[in-house]
Structure 1
Amino acid sequence: MTSLLTTTATAGMLILGTVPAGAVVGAPVADGGYPFTAKLDIGEGKRSCSAALINPTWVITAASCFAADPANPSTVPAGRPADKTIATVGRTDLGSTAGKSVEVVDLAPRADRDLVLARLASPVFGFSPVALATAAPAVGDTLRATGYGRTADEWAPTRLHSAAVTVKSSTATTLTIAPKAPATGAICKGDTGGPTFKEDGATAVLTGIHSRSWQGGCFGSTETRTDAIETRVDDIRQWITDTSSVDQALLGPDAKLASGQTLTGRDLQLTMRTDGDLTITHKGIPNGVIWATGTGGNPGAYAWMQPDGNFVVYSADNRPIWNTATWVSAGNYLSLQDDGNLVVYKKDGGPLAGGALWGAGSTRIGTTIGSGQPVWSAQWAEAASTVLIMQRDGNFAVYRKSDGAYLWGTGTYASTFGYFVMQSDGNAVIYPAGQGNGVGSVWNSGTWWSAGAFMKLQDDGNLVIYKKEGGEGVGGAIWSTNTFA
Structure 2
Amino acid sequence: MRNQNVFNRRPRTAWVTGLLAAAVAVGTVTAASPAQALEGGGIKNAAYTFAAKLDIGGGKRSCSGALVDKQWVLTAASCFADDPDKGLKVSDGAPKWKTTATVGRTNLTKPTGSVTDVVELVPYKGRDLVMAKLAKPVAGVTPVAIGTAAPKQGEELKVAGFGRTKSTWVPDRLGGSSFMVDAVQDGSVSVSPKAAADGAVCKGDTGGPALRETAGRVELVGVNSTSWQGGCLGTDPSETRKGAVDTRVDDLSTWIQKVSYRAVFPKAPWDKATHIASGYFTGGSAGGTRHMDMIVRWIDSEVTLYQGGDDKDPSHPFIAEYQLGKPLKQAPKTNWQYVKEMTAAGFGDGTDGLVVRWVDSEMTQYTHVDAKGFHNERKLVAPVKKGPWTHAKQMTAGRYTANAQRDDLVVVWDDGRVTLHPDLNANGLADKAKKTLVKKNTTWPFATQIAAGEFTGKKTADLLVRWVDGESTIYPGVDAAGLHGEIKIRPKKSPWINATVVTAGAFVANERPNDVMVRWQDGSLGLYPGVDAAGTHGEVKLTG
**Alignment TM class, shorter chain as reference:** 0.5 to 0.7
Which digits, 9 at most, give the CA deviation of each residue in 1:406-442, with x for residues without a partner? 579899xxxxxxxxxxxxxxxxxxxxxxxxxxxxxxx
Q: Which of residues 69, 73, 98 is equivalent to 2:112?
A: 98
Is the contact between residue 39 and residue 87 of structure 1 (CA under 8 Å) also seen in structure 2? yes
Q: CA deviation at 1:195?
A: 0.6
Task: Describe the shift of the 1:405–1:36 C-alpha distance in structure 2 as closer, same or farther (beyond 3 A).
Answer: same
Is the contact between residue 52 and residue 103 of structure 2 (CA under 8 Å) also seen in structure 1? yes
Task: Describe the shift of the 1:14–1:131 C-alpha distance in structure 2 as closer, same or farther (beyond 3 A).
Answer: farther
Q: CA deviation at 1:145?
A: 0.5
Q: Which of residues 92, 102, 110 is equivalent to 2:124?
A: 110
Task: Describe the shift of the 1:463–1:125 C-alpha distance in structure 2 as closer, same or farther (beyond 3 A).
Answer: farther
Q: CA deviation at 1:401?
A: 5.0
Which letter maps to 2:206? T
For the pair 1:241 / 2:257, whether they are aligned, the reply is yes
Secondary structure of 1:28's partner?
coil
Secondary structure of 2:170's partner?
coil
Which digits, 9 at most, give the CA deviation of each residue in 1:233-258, with x for residues without a partner? 12333322333333569xxxxxxxxx
The 2-side partners of 1:17 and 1:104 are apart by 29
Task: Describe the shift of the 1:139–1:162 C-alpha distance in structure 2 as closer, same or farther (beyond 3 A).
Answer: same
For the pair 1:400 / 2:343, whether they are aligned, the reply is yes
The 2-side partners of 1:33 and 1:190 are apart by 21
Equivalenced residue count is 321
Task: Describe the shift of the 1:24–1:161 C-alpha distance in structure 2 as closer, same or farther (beyond 3 A).
Answer: farther
Task: Describe the shift of the 1:410–1:45 C-alpha distance in structure 2 as closer, same or farther (beyond 3 A).
Answer: farther
- Following superposition of structure 1 onto structure 2, how do residues 10-25 of structure 1 map, counting pairs within 5 Å? 13-15=26-28, 18-19=31-32
The 1-side partners of 2:128 and 2:140 are apart by 29
Which digits, 9 at most, give the CA deviation of each residue in 1:129-149, with x for residues without a partner? 222222322222211110001
**What is the TM-score of this pair, normalised by structure 1?**
0.55
Deviates more, 1:143-152 or 1:15-24: 15-24
Task: Describe the shift of the 1:474–1:463 C-alpha distance in structure 2 as closer, same or farther (beyond 3 A).
Answer: closer
Which digits, 9 at most, give the CA deviation of each residue in 1:297-352, with x for residues without a partner? 589xxxxxxxxxxxxxxxxxxxxxxxxxxxxxxxxxxxxxxxxxxxxxxxxxxxxx
Match of 2:420 in 1: none
Match of 1:309 in 2: none
Q: CA deviation at 1:73?
A: 4.5
For the pair 1:160 / 2:179, whether they are aligned, the reply is no
Which digits, 9 at most, give the CA deviation of each residue in 1:35-55, with x for residues without a partner? 111111112222110001112
Which letter maps to 1:231? T
For the pair 1:230 / 2:246, whether they are aligned, the reply is yes
Deviates more, 1:202-211 or 1:187-196: 202-211
Secondary structure of 1:145's partner?
strand
The 2-side partners of 1:114 and 1:84 are apart by 20
Is the contact between residue 102 and residue 114 of structure 2 (CA under 8 Å) also seen in structure 1? yes
Pick the structure with more helix per residue. 2
Match of 1:39 in 2: 53
Q: CA deviation at 1:97?
A: 1.1
The 1-side partners of 2:498 and 2:22 are apart by 74
Match of 2:302 in 1: 280
Match of 1:475 in 2: 492
Match of 2:327 in 1: 292
Secondary structure of 1:244's partner?
helix
Secondary structure of 2:251's partner?
helix
The 2-side partners of 1:479 and 1:8 are apart by 55
Which digits, 9 at most, give the CA deviation of each residue in 1:256-295, with x for residues without a partner? xxxxxxxx9x967899xxxxxx9622439xxx99983535
The 2-side partners of 1:482 and 1:93 are apart by 53
The 2-side partners of 1:205 and 1:81 are apart by 27
Q: CA deviation at 1:461?
A: 5.6
Task: Describe the shift of the 1:95–1:13 C-alpha distance in structure 2 as closer, same or farther (beyond 3 A).
Answer: same
Is the contact between residue 26 and residue 184 of structure 1 (CA under 8 Å) also seen in structure 2? no
Is the contact between residue 164 and residue 180 of structure 1 (CA under 8 Å) also seen in structure 2? yes
The 1-side partners of 2:330 and 2:40 are apart by 56
The 2-side partners of 1:482 and 1:102 are apart by 40
Which digits, 9 at most, give the CA deviation of each residue in 1:345-393, with x for residues without a partner? xxxxxxxxxxxxxxxxxxxxxxxxxxxxxxxxxxxxxxxxxxxxxx996
Identity %: 37
Secondary structure of 1:34's partner?
helix
Secondary structure of 1:35's partner?
helix
**What is the TM-score of this pair, normalised by structure 2?**
0.50
The 1-side partners of 2:117 and 2:339 are apart by 41
Is the contact between residue 223 and residue 247 of structure 2 (CA under 8 Å) also seen in structure 1? yes
Which letter maps to 1:283? L
- Following superposition of structure 1 onto structure 2, how do residues 457-468 of structure 1 map, counting pairs within 5 Å? 460=464, 462=466, 464-466=468-470
For the pair 1:194 / 2:208, whether they are aligned, the reply is yes
Deviates more, 1:395-404 or 1:54-63: 395-404
Which letter maps to 2:240? T
Task: Describe the shift of the 1:296–1:209 C-alpha distance in structure 2 as closer, same or farther (beyond 3 A).
Answer: closer
Q: CA deviation at 1:77?
A: 0.8
The 2-side partners of 1:484 and 1:31 are apart by 49
The 2-side partners of 1:484 and 1:51 are apart by 40
Task: Describe the shift of the 1:21–1:135 C-alpha distance in structure 2 as closer, same or farther (beyond 3 A).
Answer: farther
The 2-side partners of 1:229 and 1:482 are apart by 49
Task: Describe the shift of the 1:127–1:10 C-alpha distance in structure 2 as closer, same or farther (beyond 3 A).
Answer: closer
Task: Describe the shift of the 1:190–1:142 C-alpha distance in structure 2 as closer, same or farther (beyond 3 A).
Answer: same
Secondary structure of 2:66's partner?
strand
- Structure 2: state its 5+ residue gaps: 1-15, 266-281, 283-292, 307-322, 346-352, 362-446, 452-463, 472-487, 505-544
Q: CA deviation at 1:400?
A: 3.2
Task: Describe the shift of the 1:18–1:481 C-alpha distance in structure 2 as closer, same or farther (beyond 3 A).
Answer: closer
The 2-side partners of 1:200 and 1:152 are apart by 29
Q: CA deviation at 1:120?
A: 2.0
CA RMSD between the two structures? 4.5
Match of 1:205 in 2: 219
Secondary structure of 2:180's partner?
strand
- Structure 1: state its 5+ residue gaps: 250-263, 272-277, 300-390, 412-454
The 1-side partners of 2:243 and 2:57 are apart by 29
Q: CA deviation at 1:128?
A: 2.4
